[in-house]
Amino acid sequence: MPLPKAELHLHIEGTLEPELAFELAGRNGVPLPYAGTDALREAYRFTDLQSFLNLYYELMAVLRTEQDFADLADAYLARAAAQGVRHAEIFFDPQAHLARGVGMDTVVEGLWRALGRSEEKHGVSTRLIMCFLRDETAESAMRTLRAAQPYLGRITGVGLDSAETGHPPAKFREVYEAATALGLRRVAHAGEEGPPEYITEALDVLGVERVDHGLRCTEDPELVERLVRDRVPLTLCPLSNVRLRTVDALADHPLPAMLDAGLMCTVNSDDPAYFGGYAGDNFDAVRDTLGLSEERLRDLARNSFHAAFLDDDEERRAR
Ligand code: HPA
Ligand code: ZN
């Protein structure tokens, strides 16, 4: 029995496996510039975040209809459930779809077709977190928030993703203020490739309740002290860090030192179709390569439920 856990850092578009990409491409008549699934997998050699994002956005072209988004989410939920995920807080990138002429209604209703049945079908409770693309303008983010307003019953929070360097959190102050006024929860990617100052800014300017990645906090002892004191959850993604070369090798990952420092770490999969593993695979990898004890793994799983946007009753039921 895999350890029950919550997944808190998961981009639904990053769960698009090559087989499903080709199936959807065929269904929708969208040409893909790869001979087949093996050739596509060959392209999964990333040198940094941007090299991954280029392929991630390119492959989204196959997602066109509500049923495509439903099939994508259902496939993820089945895989996650098999690896012990009991609760998933799922990011999606509406701007990447709106830019291709796919409407907010198609994306949210499509995802909801799978999420709405997930507890019953997979035993996985879910939340949706709408991410803004930080390499787009603040005005575009604000327009996206407005476009999502009819769907806020299905969206729990907002996040910030895409190319980090040169796009500090403060650029999105107003849109996070507006999201807060609408009752939305707040997270942001910070300190993946960007400097520790972006983590501080995400906390101080955007008021985030969790930091996605947060890896580079280790470069700033005062920031680590603050994150420990305030028990700010970090959603780490070890296999992602290796594939995007944020760490040289999994054996060098700072997770054990971060746990020793008292940081509230969680382990997640980010974009599992591209980075070589789902949530349970990430747990297995840190156990096998970093030598984390069973007790440490249980701490990570406990942290994941604690850091989730669940109320106390839901948290007890999920664990
Ligand atoms: N980082 C930033 N943006 C992203 C990622 C990531 O790992 N995956 C999908 N969008
Ligand atoms: Zn991410």
Q: Which is higher by pLDDT, 316 or 219?
A: 219
What token pair was written down for 33? Answer: 């510039």
Residue 314 has pLDDT above 90, yes or no: no
pLDDT above 90 covers what percent of the chain? 97
C-alpha 195 – ligand 2 centre gap (Å)? 16
Quick one: which of 253, 251, 266 has its CA closest to 296? 266
- In this prediction, residue 1 carries a pLDDT of 84
- In this prediction, residue 307 carries a pLDDT of 98
Residue 141 has pLDDT above 90, yes or no: yes
Q: Which ligand ends up closest to the CA of 16?
A: 1
Backbone angles phi, psi at 233, to 5 degrees: -70, 140
Alpha helices for the chain (secondary structure H): 18-28, 37-42, 49-59, 66-82, 94-98, 104-115, 118-122, 138-148, 173-181, 196-204, 221-229, 238-243, 255-260, 272-275, 279-290, 294-307, 312-318
The dotted CATH code for 5-307 is 3.20.20.140
Amino acid at the residue 49: L
| pLDDT per residue as tens digits for the range 53-82 | 999 999 999 999 999 999 999 999 999 999
Q: Which residue has the tokens 């520790």?
A: 196
Quick one: which of 1, 2, 4 has its CA closest to 316? 4
What is the reported pTM? 0.98
C-alpha 268 – ligand 2 centre gap (Å)? 9
Residue 244 CA: nearest ligand 1 atom is 7
| pLDDT per residue as tens digits for the range 255-279 | 999 999 999 999 999 999 999 999 9
Residue 316 has pLDDT above 90, yes or no: no
- In this prediction, residue 75 carries a pLDDT of 98
- In this prediction, residue 312 carries a pLDDT of 79
Pocket of ligand 1, beta carbon within 6 A = 11, 14, 49, 56, 161-162, 189, 192, 240, 270-271
Using alpha carbons, list the distances in angstroms from residue 210 to 79, 86, 94, 229: 25, 19, 21, 14
C-alpha 140 – ligand 2 centre gap (Å)? 20
Alpha carbon nearest to ligand 1 atom 4, residue:
162
Mean of all residue pLDDT scores within the chain: 97
CA 246 to chain centre: 16
Residue 271 CA: nearest ligand 1 atom is 8
Residue 252 has pLDDT above 90, yes or no: yes
| pLDDT per residue as tens digits for the range 19-35 | 999 999 999 999 999 99
Residue 41 has pLDDT above 90, yes or no: yes
CB 14 within 8 A of CB 237: no
| Sequence-ordered list of residues with C-beta below 8 angstroms from that of 148, at least 6 positions apart, any chain | 94, 104, 108, 130, 155
- In this prediction, residue 315 carries a pLDDT of 82
ipTM for this model: 0.96
Would you name the residues annotated as active-site residues? 192
C-alpha 57 – ligand 1 centre gap (Å)? 11
| pLDDT per residue as tens digits for the range 142-194 | 999 999 999 999 999 999 999 999 999 999 999 999 999 999 999 999 999 99
* Ligand 1, pocket-test mutation among 93, 189, 247, 275, most atoms within 8 A of CB: 189
- In this prediction, residue 73 carries a pLDDT of 99
- In this prediction, residue 222 carries a pLDDT of 98
Residue 131 CA: nearest ligand 1 atom is 10
Amino acid at the residue 22: F
* Ligand 1, pocket-test mutation among 49, 90, 242, 282, most atoms within 8 A of CB: 49
C-alpha 162 – ligand 1 centre gap (Å)? 5
Q: Across residues 235-257, what is the average pLDDT?
A: 98
Reported confidence tier of residue 313, pLDDT bands at 50, 70, 90: confident
Residue 43 has pLDDT above 90, yes or no: yes
